[in-house]
Amino acid sequence: MTEDRLLIEELAAKGGQPDFLRSIAENVLQLIMEADVDGLIGAGRHERSGERATWRNGYRDRSLDTRVGTLNLKIPKLRAGSYFPGFLEPRKMVEKALVAVIQEAWIGGVSTRRVDELVQAMGMTGISKSTVSKLCKDIDERVHAFLKRPLTGEWPYLWLDATYLKVREGGRIISVAAIIAMAVNTEGRREIVGLHIGPSEAEVFWSDFLKDLVRRGLTGVKLVISDAHEGLKGAITRVMGATWQRCRVHFMRNALSYVPKGQNTVVAAAIRQVFLQPDQKSATQVWR
């Protein structure tokens, strides 16, 4: 797995960024249609070929509703004959095939044979190695642009978390940390503002990640919510200069680790009552 594939996987697991995932889905389907039409014509765009059967004749617009939103597609038109992609046929399940193409191409490692099989399963004639390379390069550029995009405005609330993933490196399996930052701006809009892969959750790793967020324009942070990892807390104090609060989910997990499994439900319900109180005084009384 490359770093970008890990970031795509982690982004999808965290709910993703709707506009970002929608643009990737649109581009994947558009590239597949272009490759499909090249096969029907017998030549690529602006290519001279004695085997050419017809010519392109513009596009017609078509929308496709999916779980990542409405995709705006441009279906290629031909001067002689017609073309209509198989995945747009009525009642045909496109989403599973579309998601499988993206996952196989990026998380699975871009096997040309597997991508070609998936494209044919969607009712099209297949896809060449060069098209797979073009598709992967385009997604790589989009991922890089998303992760390096400037951040504007103020972001008063910032959540930080990490998970560990298994990857193959140098012929052996190792564990790496995938860290993610999610923030809410003054308009109440929540966005994933950063993702990064590193060897561990050491303080220097978190510090570099937070400094990069600041360089990209993350300002106005008043409260940072995370687990109680000492390296992370130290990085927050030094880089962000904001108030820190322990994540409620991590706190609950830590508390229940001291409780017998048979009593987890009862204890968890009791602790939740503390968080439901309207003010600090009431919460303190319930906690005691």
64, 71 contact by CB (below 8 A): yes
**252 part of a folded domain:** no
Which amino acid type is present at position 185?
Answer: N
Q: What letter does residue 45 receive in the DSSP assignment?
A: T
Same domain for 195 and 111: no
pLDDT band at 91; cut points 50, 70, 90:
very low
Kind and range of the H or E element at 138?
A: helix 129-147
Same domain for 112 and 59: no
196 or 155, which is more confident? 155
Total structural domains within the chain: 3
pLDDT > 90 in the chain, percent: 26
> Residue 47 sits in which domain range?
1-78
**83 part of a folded domain:** no
Q: Is the CA virtual torsion 233, 235, 237, 239 positive or negative?
A: negative
Q: For residue 1, what pLDDT is reported?
A: 44
CA–CA separation, 273 vs 270, rounded Å?
Answer: 5
pTM above 0.75, yes or no: no
